[in-house]
Structure 1
Amino acid sequence: MVRPYFFEFLAHVKKRWEGKTVVDLFAQEFRQRPREYYEEAVKRGRIRVEGKVVAPSYVVRDSQTMSHFVHRHEPPVLAGRVIVLEEGPDIIVVSKPATVPVHPCGQYRKNSVISILEAEHKTGPLFPVHRLDRLVSGLLILARNSRTADFFRQEIEAGVVQKQYVAKVKGVFPAEEVELNAAVIYDPREGRSSVEVRARPAKEIAVEIESTLKGASKRTPESDAKSKESCTKFRRLSTDGVDSIVQCMPLTGRTHQIRVHLQYLGFPIANDDLYLHSNVTKRSKANTTADRAAKIPEVPETISEVKDSSIAVLSTVSVDVNYSDERLDSSNVTAPSVAVTNTKQGDNTREAEREKLQEHSKNAEIIDRRSSEDAENACSNGGDLLEPGVSLSIEANEVPELQKERSQFVSKSINPNFMVDPLCTHCPNMAPTGYTGDDEGLWLHCIRYSGSNWTYECPLPEWAL
């Protein structure tokens, strides 16, 4: 666990922020902290505009530079180490542990693969060839220079790179190879992907199921503008009659593609709360990351409720499910046509869990605001990042002026692990406010990447053996 440290976030004022007071901007756009905090931070000069202390009533203008000096508390990650599998003058290949992001993002900086490698192996600058979700484990390729990174980028863009993952899913996955062509759309606000869907009368469900299983593909002009073509092949490796170990081979790279395709087929990853249930709490309401918000259950829409209302959520866009054996029993694949899942929720235990997590999340600072749509790139972001993907972060001990100012910011009281900041919304706790300690690595693991004349592999995780 990383000790809290001082940090400065920088960002440019967006056009839609222009005309707001600096306090209103922060209170409305970054609700992970109370308004009173931002008022005090502006008065103390922790929030500045163009490097100058301003009044809380100061009105910002487009493209101005804002800075936010904070006492940063990084969320803990699981204890797994970043294992170096192969190292050379141009490349380093590692096994990424689950819950650790690839690169600094959101509330994570020192607890990232790139920062850990620099601290432990003095690797210098690294360029990720591909990315993995924060909760995903497995093979990660990093280039040591831009020339090598450009080589891999060209290989990926040319479509010659083959990717393999392994997942543990709920249910008995079909023995035959399954190829799913289903357009994926990513919601950056909620951090969740879906297969393009629209409401359909319940009486059309049977026709839709039959068409889907025959490989029919239906598109609309609206879907062309929003969704992205996606294709994944799946092959069952083993099953115990309850869960299955499945090899996943994405032919395209969309955010959460494997996770949402498995959900769509009716075999979601067995511990993936974000896609296990049809209805999950939205992160914009829970004020936390998408995966953590999903642990707060909502009352689901059951199949019986769908029939009563004569409405079901049906996938109608770019759906093409191919099975290698046409004799496949349709009873194994009834789920793809219906996006709602008949999950067992709403009992007393889960209701108590929801109340507990809602209380934890009420004033949470962790908030995932990242809008990247790169393949398998959904680092669970949050915290004080002003403008994800644009912000420049500078550690306080790299800025002499901030070093001088630290004395007025920091309390003289010291807890056993770190110096307490009286204005910090996390202190005196080491973990950030709202962190419940329930992070769990997904049962999704990258095992192999190969290209024109290269192959890198990673050992299987224990749950897949």
Structure 2
Amino acid sequence: MQTLVLVAEHPDFLVLNKPCGLNFHTEDGALGLVELAKLQFAMPLWPVHRLDKLTSGLLLLAKTKQAASEFQELFSQGQVDKYYLAIASAKPKKKQGLIKGDMLKARNGSWKLAKTSNKPAITQFFSYAVQAKRRLFLLKPRTGRTHQLRVALKSLGSPILGDQRYAGEAAERGYLHAYALHFVWHGEPQSFIAEENLDGEFAATAMAEQIRLLAKPWDIPFPRLGAN
């Protein structure tokens, strides 16, 4: 059984670091992250958000139904700040700002970004030219749509490295990592960073140096929504 990395434990929740390539839910007889966590930590756990199979990084699991309900309310009100790292091989259409548009179903379970904004997916981002044909992105989703970040970067002309569903260059893993979480829980600020799983090209010298400069992404002044 795969061992999951525990980042932090609170009386109300666990913070885990999901490996790339692990399904969130059990599929085809292979245990998903939630069931693995229940077995490893020998307790009932409730998922309150999810990560794609391709994505590594921070994931919250509630220890009680009450905590799960409270987290769902925090997420629905946009009170949980999530920060992701991604690597792309192509230069984006713009270096920073806002990616906004309605998410529409495309073929074979994929999605695409429309120019309309009736119920838009919203992502703020910065990008950094790190080395030849490699750019690091710091992403802050303000909504939580399926494949939102993957579609957002494709719309910029910079699909995520290893994300071949969305035209990313082939790689040994998908280079999307749920890097940090920041929220207030019962009056106490909570901040977490996932440094495990920053492997492969995330660990290359120049890339790792840039990531170290982003050690507290919640302190980075993202532009105001509506200012782009």
How does 1:69-88 map onto structure 2 within 5 Å?
81-88=3-10
Match of 1:107 among 28, 51, 55: 28
Give the superposition deviation at 1:243: 1.3
SS of 1:258's partner is helix
Structure 1 residues 440, 108: closer, same or farther in 2, change over 3 A? farther
User: What does residue range 22-33 of structure 1 map to in structure 2 within 5 Å?
Assistant: none
Cα distance in 1 between the residues matched to 2:39 and 2:143: 34
Mapped to 1, the partners of 2:35 and 2:125 lie a distance apart of 34
Is the counterpart of residue 145 in structure 1 residue 46 in structure 2? Answer: no
Taking the aligned partners of 2:29 and 2:76, their CA distance within structure 1 comes to: 29
C-alpha contact (below 8 Å) 1:94/1:141 kept by paired residues? yes
Which of 455, 462, 465 pairs up with 2:191? 455
State the AA in 1 paired with 2:163: D
Alignment-mate amino acid for residue 164 of structure 2: D
Q: What is the deviation of 1:448?
A: 1.0
Q: Is the 8 A contact 2:181 2:193 kept in 1?
A: yes
Instruction: Identify the residue that residue 443 of structure 1 maps to in structure 2.
Output: 175
Return the alpha-carbon distance in structure 2 between the equivalents of residues 175 and 194 of structure 1: 19
Which 4+ residue blocks in structure 1 deviate beyond 3 angstroms? 172-176
- Pairwise CA RMSD: 2.5
Contact 2:128 2:136 in 1 (8 A): yes
8 Å Cα contact 1:99-1:440 kept in structure 2:
no
Q: Is the 8 A contact 2:92 2:157 kept in 1?
A: no
Mapped partners of 1:88, 1:248: distance in 2: 26
* Superposition pairs of residues 41-80 of structure 1, within 5 angstroms: none
What amino acid maps onto 2:68 in structure 1?
Answer: A
* Counterpart mapping for 1:218-297 below 5 A: 219=116, 224=118, 228-276=119-167
- C-alpha offsets along residues 365-394 of structure 1, whole Å, 9 cap, x if unaligned? xxxxxxxxxxxxxxxxxxxxxxxxxxxxxx
Distance 2:124 2:68 in 1: 27
Residue 457 of structure 1 aligns to which amino acid in structure 2?
Answer: I
The 1:129–1:85 alpha-carbon spacing in structure 2 relative to 1, beyond 3 Å, is same
* Equivalent residues in 2 for 1:129-140, closer than 5 Å: 129-140=48-59
Q: Kindly state the Cα deviation for residue 178 of structure 1 after the two structures are TM-superposed.
A: 2.2
Matched-pair contact (CA < 8 Å) for 1:137–1:441: no
Distance in 1, Cα, partners of 2:98 & 2:151: 14
Q: Residues of 1 paired with 2:195 and 2:154: CA distance?
A: 25
Structure 2: distance between partners of 1:85 and 1:238: 29
Report sequence identity in percent: 28
Higher helix proportion: 1
Q: Report the Cα distance in structure 2 between the residues aligned to 1:444 and 1:190, rounded to whole angstroms.
A: 21
* Cα distance change of structure 1 residues 114 and 442 upon mapping to structure 2, 3 Å threshold: same
**2:115 corresponds to 1:193:** no
Deviations 1:80-114 (A, max 9, x none): x410111133211110001111232x31542x212
The 5 Å alignment of 1:277-356 reads none
Q: Which runs of 5+ in 1 are unaligned?
A: 3-78, 197-217, 278-294, 296-438
In the TM superposition, what is the alpha-carbon distance from 1:131 to its structure 2 partner? Answer: 0.2
In structure 2, C-alpha distance between the alignment counterparts of 1:84 and 1:238, rounded to whole Å:
32
Q: Which fold has the larger relative contact order, with Cα–Cα distance below 8 Å and residues 6 or more apart in sequence?
A: 1
- C-alpha separation in 1, matches of 2:79 and 2:41: 31
Determine if contact 2:128/2:137 at 8 Å carries over to the other structure. Answer: yes
1:101–1:108: 8 Å Cα contact kept in structure 2? no
What amino acid is aligned across from residue 444 of structure 1 in structure 2? Answer: L
How far apart are the structure 2 equivalents of 1:157 and 1:449?
A: 15
Deviation at 1:239, TM superposition (A): 1.9
Instruction: Considering fraction of residues, name the structure with more strand.
Output: 2
Structure 1: which amino acid aligns with 2:102? A
Within 2, Cα distance between the matches of 1:273 and 1:119? 32
- In 1, the alpha carbon distance for the partners of 2:109 and 2:93 equals 29
Which amino acid in structure 1 is aligned with residue 98 of structure 2? E
- Secondary structure class of the residue paired with 1:263: helix
The correspondence for 1:121, drawn from 22, 35, 41, is 41
Aligned residues: 196
SS in 2 for 1:445: strand
Match of 1:100, SS state, is coil
Match of 1:70? none
Structure 1 residues 131 and 171, CA, compared in 2 at 3 Å: closer, same or farther? Answer: same
Query: What is the CA distance between 1:257 and its match in structure 2?
Result: 0.7
- Asked if 2 retains the 8 angstrom alpha-carbon contact of 1:174 and 1:236, the reply is no
Q: Name the SS of the counterpart of 1:451 in structure 2.
A: strand
Scaled by the length of structure 1, the TM-score of the pair is 0.39
